[in-house]
Chains A and B, each alone.
Chain A
Amino acid sequence: MAPISIDAAALLTSVQSIVPEIIVVATAIFVLLLDLAISEEKKHLLCGMGLLGIGVALFSVYALGQGRIEGFSGMIVHDGMGAFFDVVILSACALTFLMATGYSEWEGTHKGEFYSLILLSTSGMMFMAKGTDLMTVFLGLETLSIPIYVLVGFHRNRMSSLEGALKYFLLGAFASGFLLYGIALIYAVTGTTKIPVLATMLYDPRILASPLFLAGTGLLLVGFAFKVSLVPFHMWTPDAYEGAPTVVTAFMSAAVKAAAFAALIRVLLVALPGMQPVLWKVLWGLAVLTMTVGNLSALVQNNVKRLLAYSSIAHAGYILVGLVSGDVLGGQASLFYLLVYAFMNMGAFGVVMLIAQKEDEGYDIANLAGIGFKYPALGALLTLFLISLGGIPPTAGFVGKFYLFSAAVKNGYIWLAVIGVLNSAASIYYYLRMVVYMYMVTPDVEVAVPRPPRILFSMALCASAVVVVVLGIIPRSVLEIAERSVLSLLM
């Protein structure tokens, strides 16, 4: 037999397109090996190594430049959108590591596996965001999910942690089944799983009308909706978020959502624009349901982590609003909001981490009493993040919501915007409830003493705060980047 020829140029390009991911995976392996070598006291080095790796990966994203680099015969692409999401996901990962410097010490997650798993999950997210073949998307999804299942259950001595992990795992596998079946059906009808090819296939009206195809799309959406925690596929979210070690919760809320939305956006805008006239109703219903249920449930929560989990669900609803119209304007708004959301949510979780003394009971909202005046910096930071989450100017959260809803209005979905705004208004209640507890409620016993801060931890919080404030005042440049990213999808 003739030797199999290797197309060297294509191989090189392929490797180039996944350079950031390679770096992240390499760091993960390196951290794992390093863990064997160093002693107990020096475990924090692992964290530093991880940060270094992320830094290099971020630099590589920047170095790869603006162009479109396709790899592995169309299975993965590093384009504007890929780069954007790489940055978002890596930033979330970096923030997680910064926060883990303190958290690991207090809650005992200073293990090589911990950091390695986070990094592996990150690489999975990046693959998912850049995948142009449904197979890559699926693999990325699983690569990101499996480490997270472990991470959620990392506190093996706490029932809530393990239970959260179990529920997430079972439901995650369940949803993956749906996703896969959807892909299978689509494959059955169109004969391909490549996203750009799907787009061309959809010009054929027989395919659009085929029940198998429609069912396949529906199941595909179910799979994505699960990951993004849209209602009624969201039920794992509150339990998993509440049970997981808080630093993992923060990571999940920001990064997983970003990656899943990236894939969803790619599928919706590239593969399925032809289906928009039908799909928008589905997306509309999902968005409204998600926003409403998320906000309503959050109103009556007393556990801060659970509250933020429901708020996270509601935010997924807001982001989906931008995708209902299926055009660049909405996509741009969704991208911008995902970036902003990552920072403000992680910031909020970060401050909450500092205040809580221990898992589970420490996260009761009553523990916030009196913090505002006794530890003004913490109070101010948390207030800033909560205000941004609530969408009050001049924060980035407001700008994001503004663009989301105005995109909806510009495309004629007035009622959607109205419901969105009403929900936003209702959400302010539970965000400000926390602020009220901080400043206006006197504690029964002592005011909870927050953990002593680590420099890196504080850096993470400050960075988040700066992003929230700056993007609230000068969002123009980031919005343009988001717009270019979405446009690069459609080229």
Chain B
Amino acid sequence: MMDPSAYLLLSGILFGIGVAGVVVRKNVLIILMSVEIMLNAVNVAFIAVGSHLGDVTGSVFAFMVMTVAAAEAAVGLAILIAIFRLKETIDITELSVLKW
């Protein structure tokens, strides 16, 4: 099987992009997307390594992650909708009632 280091590198870059997105962006939807990028980066890593080792664990893990990501996305979007109904904004700098 292929040397996984390229895949791991890709995974790392994707992860970095995702992290940067979460930290920097102000739109909640974009943040959500960045989180999804992070999780998919992880998936890439898992599959690459699993394939390299010939172990099925990697692929199984990827399945699990995808499932969880879906559930999380559902819940997250629901929360977002609830917020929008109440305050008509999805800019995180405005969504900071709770502080100090």
A–B touch (CB < 8 A): the answer is yes
| Bound Cα distance A238, B53 (Å) | 43
Assuming the contacts A159-B97, A184-B11, asked whether A193 and B57 have C-beta atoms less than 8 A apart, the reply is: yes
- Contact between chains at A191 and B75 (CB < 8 Å): no
Within 8 A of B (CB), among A143-194: 146, 149-150, 153, 156-157, 159-160, 162-167, 169-170, 173-174, 176-177, 180-181, 183-185, 187-188, 191-193
Assuming the contacts A170-B32, A181-B15, asked whether A160 and B97 have C-beta atoms less than 8 A apart, the reply is: yes
- Contact between chains at A170 and B31 (CB < 8 Å): yes
The yes or no answer to B13 lying at the interface (CB within 8 A) is: no
Contacting residue for B75 out of A146, A174, A180, CB 8 A: A146
- Contact between chains at A165 and B22 (CB < 8 Å): no
Query: In the complex, which residue of chain B has the Cβ closest to the Cβ of A150?
Result: B75
- Contact between chains at B18 and A160 (CB < 8 Å): no
Assuming the contacts A156-B86, A188-B45, A193-B57, asked whether A174 and B38 have C-beta atoms less than 8 A apart, the reply is: yes
| Bound Cα distance A131, B64 (Å) | 15
The yes or no answer to A326 lying at the interface (CB within 8 A) is: no
Interface 1/0s, chain B 26-56, versus A by CB < 8 A? 0010011001001101100110011001010
Query: In the complex, which residue of chain A has the Cβ closest to the Cβ of B55?
Result: A191
The yes or no answer to B10 lying at the interface (CB within 8 A) is: no
Contacts of A160 in B (CB 8 A): 97-98
The size class of the interface chain B forms with chain A is: 35 or more
- Contact between chains at B86 and A242 (CB < 8 Å): no
- Contact between chains at B98 and A139 (CB < 8 Å): no
| Bound Cα distance A459, B63 (Å) | 44
The yes or no answer to B83 lying at the interface (CB within 8 A) is: yes
Contacts of B83 in A (CB 8 A): 159, 162-163, 166
- Contact between chains at A149 and B64 (CB < 8 Å): no
- Contact between chains at B72 and A164 (CB < 8 Å): no
Contacts of B57 in A (CB 8 A): 135, 187, 192-193
The yes or no answer to A359 lying at the interface (CB within 8 A) is: no
- Contact between chains at A181 and B42 (CB < 8 Å): yes
- Contact between chains at B98 and A164 (CB < 8 Å): yes
Assuming the contacts A169-B79, A193-B61, asked whether A139 and B68 have C-beta atoms less than 8 A apart, the reply is: yes
Interface 1/0s, chain B 65-86, versus A by CB < 8 A? 1001001100110111011011
Among B11, B64, B79, B86, max chain A CB count under 10 A is at: B79
Contacts of A162 in B (CB 8 A): 79, 82-83, 86
| Bound Cα distance A185, B60 (Å) | 16
- Contact between chains at B76 and A173 (CB < 8 Å): yes
Contacting residue for A169 out of B11, B75, B85, CB 8 A: B75
Contacting residue for A184 out of B42, B75, B79, CB 8 A: B42
| Bound Cα distance A188, B11 (Å) | 12
Assuming the contacts A170-B31, A239-B98, asked whether A142 and B58 have C-beta atoms less than 8 A apart, the reply is: no
The yes or no answer to A138 lying at the interface (CB within 8 A) is: yes
| Bound Cα distance A146, B82 (Å) | 16
Contacts of A238 in B (CB 8 A): 98
Within 8 A of B (CB), among A116-154: 135, 138-139, 142, 146, 149-150, 153
The yes or no answer to B95 lying at the interface (CB within 8 A) is: yes
The yes or no answer to A243 lying at the interface (CB within 8 A) is: yes
- Contact between chains at A180 and B42 (CB < 8 Å): yes
Q: List 23 A-B contacts (CB under 8 A).
A: A135-B57, A135-B64, A139-B68, A142-B68, A149-B79, A150-B75, A150-B79, A159-B86, A159-B87, A163-B83, A163-B95, A163-B96, A163-B97, A163-B98, A174-B22, A177-B35, A177-B39, A180-B65, A187-B58, A192-B55, A238-B98, A239-B99, A242-B98
Extra inter-chain contacts (14) besides given A135-B61, A149-B79, A239-B98, CB under 8 Å: A146-B75, A149-B75, A162-B79, A162-B83, A164-B98, A165-B79, A166-B79, A166-B80, A166-B83, A169-B75, A177-B41, A177-B42, A181-B45, A184-B61
